[in-house]
Amino acid sequence: MRLVTTVLSLAIALVPCATLGQAYPTKPIRMIVPFPAGGTSDVIGRTLGQKLTEAWGQNVLVDNRSGVAGSIGAAATAKAPPDGYTLVVGNVGPIAVNPGIYKSVGYDSLKDFTPITLAVTAPQLVVVHPSVPAKTFRDFSALVKQHGKINYGSSGPGSISHLAAELYKRITKTNMLHVPYKGSALITIALLAGEVDVVFSDMAVVLPHVQAGKLRALAVTSLKPTPLVPGVPSVAESGVPGFDMTSWWGVLGPAGMPQPIVGQLNKELGRILQLADVRKQFATLGVDATTSTPEEFASLVKREVAKYEKLTAEIGIEKQ
C-alpha cells in the first residue's frame, strides 16, 4: 500500500502543468482587430501578433471583426473566456467614443475588459487648404474669430476629426461650420479641392499632401509636439492651453484575466514595442509606439471614456 501511495505521489508530481496551472501560452492566441484588413488597427495587430508568435512559438491569429465603428469586435472580446487566448487591438473609437454615440455597444468599457498595455498614440494633424490665409495655428484662430465663416470637414458625426474640431470650438468659444463626409479619404479629397477650409485629420492620410506642398500643416492635437512631424507645434502651445485630442491603440482582453498572464503579456508587448523595426514601421503609419503598465492604461481608458461622454453630450449627438 505504501508503494502504491509513493507511486501515486510521484505521478502527481509529474502531472503536466495542464492540470496544475500550465505555462502560458500553450495554444494559438486570437487577436481580434475590430476594423477591416489593411487599416492602421490591422497593421498594428498583425505586427504585434507576428512578434508574439516569433517570441513564444505559438501562432497569434488575427481575426478582423469589423462593424459598428469597431463595436462588434470589442463586444466579441468582452464575451470571450478570460483565459488570455482572446485579445483585442482596441482603440479610442470603440473603447472610449462609441459608448457616447451608440445606444448599445454590447459592453461596458470600464467593466468588461482587462487593459494590458497602451501600444500606440497618434495626434491629429490640423491642415488647411493653401488658400486659407493662415501660416500658423495662432493665425488660424484669429481668422476663425474674425471671419466667422470657416468650415471644417470631418469623417462624420462622432468621428475623431469631428470631435477634435468641436473640442476646439468649445475651448475657444468660437464657431465653424461642420461639413461631414463618409471617411477620411473623402474629406482629404474635399480639402485638396478647397471645398472645406480645415480638417483635424489622421496624420497618415494628409501627411503626403503636406510634404508635397498641396496642404499646409498648422499644428498637432497632442499636448506636446511629436517627432513624427518635426517643427509642427501643438494646438495647446499655440494659444489653446489644455487642448488634447490624441488617438490611441492598446491591447485588452476580457475582464477577469489572471494577473500572471496580464503581466506576462505586458512585459513581452512592452519589449516588442521598443524594437527599432516596430517603431519604424509604426512611424510610417503616422503613429508612435509607446508602452504602459496595465494600471496606467486602465486609468487612461477611464479618463477617455469620461471625456468623450461629456463631449458627445455637449455636442448633442443623438445616439444611434
Domain ranges of the chain: 26-121+246-315, 123-238
What stretches of the chain adopt beta strand conformation (E)? 29-33, 60-64, 86-91, 113-128, 151-154, 177-180, 198-202, 216-220, 246-254, 288-289
**Long-range pairs of 47-50 with CB within 8 A, sequence gap ≥ 24:** 47/278, 47/281, 47/282, 48/89, 48/119, 48/251, 48/269, 48/272, 48/273
Whole-angstrom distance, CA of residue 42 vs CA of residue 48: 10
Residues 51-91: tens digit of each pLDDT: 999 999 999 999 999 999 899 999 999 999 999 999 999 99
Residue 115, number of CB atoms within 10 A of its CB? 28
Residues 163-203: tens digit of each pLDDT: 999 999 999 999 999 999 988 889 999 999 999 999 999 88
pLDDT of 7 above 90: no
Whole-angstrom distance, CA of residue 73 vs CA of residue 82: 15
Q: Please, are residues 116 and 253 in contact by the beta-carbon 8 Å criterion?
A: yes
Q: Does domain 26-121+246-315 have CATH number 3.40.190.150?
A: yes
What pLDDT does 191 receive? 96
pLDDT of 311 above 60: yes
pLDDT of 6 above 50: no
Whole-angstrom distance, CA of residue 74 vs CA of residue 111: 13
Task: Answer whether the bond into residue 25 is a cis peptide, omega within 30°.
Answer: yes
Model-level pTM?
A: 0.86
Nearest to 185, CA basis, from 199, 197, 172: 199
Question: Which residues have a Cβ under 8 Å from the Cβ of 314 and sit 6 or more positions away?
Answer: 166, 170
Residues 215-249: tens digit of each pLDDT: 999 999 999 999 889 999 999 999 999 999 999 99
Of 89 and 146, the structure prediction assigns the larger pLDDT to 89
Q: Please, are residues 45 and 31 in contact by the beta-carbon 8 Å criterion?
A: yes
What pLDDT does 22 receive? 62
pLDDT of 4 above 70: no
pLDDT of 46 above 80: yes
Q: Please, are residues 112 and 82 in contact by the beta-carbon 8 Å criterion?
A: no
pLDDT of 317 above 90: no
For the structural domain made of 123-238, what CATH number should be given? 3.40.190.10
Matching fold, domains 26-121+246-315 and 123-238:
yes
Q: Please, are residues 251 and 95 in contact by the beta-carbon 8 Å criterion?
A: no
Cell 481575426 belongs to 63
